[in-house]
A and B are shown apart, each in its own frame.
Chain A
């Protein structure tokens, strides 16, 4: 029962990956008990499960994902939100107000209006319904300050790093709060705009160089150098 790829091999859609007792993982499909790739990416085998780490993908909503979205429109009983996925998400007024929503008492556009950015979680999603968002947890809701940076959704794991090593390092070095939307939108809030710019530069660097090795070390180095430059100017 063989596999037909080397670890981290670049595969194209339709490439035969494995046969027999293996299980199809992400970005793969089975036909006649053979596993093929369905996206361009890097093939990997983990405990009999064959995965392809996609190098090009779009965000597809999953229940429980934290996302950052832009409010598009105020409706009768809620808002429509762009979460950079094939589907527009809905946010219900009763969820934001955390009490029953009465159209005669509440003016929705005073709570959120078009263009506002929100941090939310996907409460429900299935094939026949658009994703519904919720802001009923601590840390979720309207974004009032900070800066936004967008990266390719498939590169979010790289920004997080192994067990969060990368992201916690950036947070520590820059003193910024960073919220990662799984849809590829990242919110950076710091004490000063300069701190935010530094963190954003680091994230941009990760996106551009996500394929190279030893990235965490290089980002650490980069942040230290940049901080010295800024420090030098101030003195």
Chain B
């Protein structure tokens, strides 16, 4: 067990990894990385490495789970045994089942589920390496996988967390900050519609700090959204440049 750092922010106002309080970790996103999935995305958010794959829409199996008026979205968030310091059992844990539900519910408002009744879409999220804030990075990647699968959506969903460490509200906590710090507020957001689809908090914040954290997280979401759009466009860029009028 690593010993806990006493201070998370040094005298210069920088964090353990040298970031300023309102600075994001470096984010790298790639779309269409898996050939066998209908849509896929890979995200590196700081030290997080996450793969997301989407399948469908297809007929729902088992059939009794299909809904007569809309598409069923199924999510599976899973952490690889080697994703954390000590081996994680590959069986789905309580936390993973909960995160699967949370991610599903935050993606659902972005998808036109009512267009495709009686069908199902599966989203698989595999965390290859975890370093705090995996649910946010997973949401960002999963939304891209859905878009890459050609499923009609209102907007891309992007997520980012803010929190409080050493009495300071900061953006995008990594693992140590999350564990030692005071609070964590993950927010998922649809920037074009200005709608929040996920808002959680663990820890204690005053109402003022909470408001500040939410706004900070939303600003972070906007920054990641640009990278997200860029990643999606990069895959289709070639097609976009030279498309001709031949229909």
* A positions within 8 Å CB-CB of B: 8-10, 12-16, 27, 29, 31, 36, 38-40, 42, 53-58, 60, 86-88, 127-128, 154, 157-158, 160-162, 166, 210-216
A14-B193 CB under 8 A given contacts A55-B236, A86-B59, A211-B238: yes
Alpha-carbon distance between A166 and B59 when the two chains are bound, in angstroms: 34
Q: Which of B112, B150, B233, B236 contacts A57 (CB 8 A)?
A: B150
Complex A-B: 21 CB contacts under 8 Å: A8-B240, A13-B155, A14-B155, A14-B190, A14-B192, A16-B192, A36-B192, A39-B153, A40-B147, A42-B240, A55-B236, A57-B150, A58-B150, A87-B119, A127-B117, A160-B247, A161-B246, A162-B245, A211-B239, A211-B242, A212-B242
Alpha-carbon distance between A9 and B154 when the two chains are bound, in angstroms: 18
- Are B56 and A10 closer than 8 Å at their CB atoms? no
- Are B192 and A10 closer than 8 Å at their CB atoms? no
Interface residues of B, count at CB 8 A? 42
Alpha-carbon distance between A42 and B241 when the two chains are bound, in angstroms: 10
Alpha-carbon distance between A31 and B193 when the two chains are bound, in angstroms: 9
A55-B239 CB under 8 A given contacts A12-B232, A38-B154, A157-B247: yes
- Are B246 and A13 closer than 8 Å at their CB atoms? no
- Are B152 and A42 closer than 8 Å at their CB atoms? no
Q: Is the C-beta of B132 less than 8 angstroms from some C-beta in chain A?
A: no
- Are B39 and A162 closer than 8 Å at their CB atoms? no
Alpha-carbon distance between A15 and B243 when the two chains are bound, in angstroms: 19
User: Most chain-B Cβ atoms within 10 A of its Cβ — which of A55, A88, A214?
Assistant: A55
A13-B152 CB under 8 A given contacts A40-B147, A128-B117: yes
- Are A29 and B154 closer than 8 Å at their CB atoms? yes
- Are A10 and B240 closer than 8 Å at their CB atoms? yes
Additional pairs, 12, CB under 8 Å, beyond known A36-B192, A38-B154, A158-B247: A8-B240, A10-B233, A12-B147, A14-B156, A15-B192, A36-B155, A53-B243, A128-B68, A160-B247, A162-B245, A214-B244, A215-B246
CB neighbours (8 Å) of A162 from chain B are: 245-247
Residue of B at shortest CB range from A15? B192
Q: Is the C-beta of B148 less than 8 angstroms from some C-beta in chain A?
A: yes
Q: Which of A36, A86, A211 contacts B58 (CB 8 A)?
A: A86
- Are B148 and A56 closer than 8 Å at their CB atoms? yes
- Are B153 and A38 closer than 8 Å at their CB atoms? yes
Residue of B at shortest CB range from A54? B150
Q: Which of A13, A31, A53, A214 contacts B153 (CB 8 A)?
A: A13
Alpha-carbon distance between A9 and B240 when the two chains are bound, in angstroms: 7
Alpha-carbon distance between A158 and B38 when the two chains are bound, in angstroms: 21
CB neighbours (8 Å) of A15 from chain B are: 192
CB neighbours (8 Å) of B118 from chain A are: 87
Q: Is the C-beta of B162 less than 8 angstroms from some C-beta in chain A?
A: no
User: Most chain-A Cβ atoms within 10 A of its Cβ — which of B150, B236, B240?
Assistant: B150
CB neighbours (8 Å) of B147 from chain A are: 12-13, 39-40, 56
CB neighbours (8 Å) of A87 from chain B are: 59, 118-119
Residue of B at shortest CB range from A152? B150
CB neighbours (8 Å) of B39 from chain A are: 56
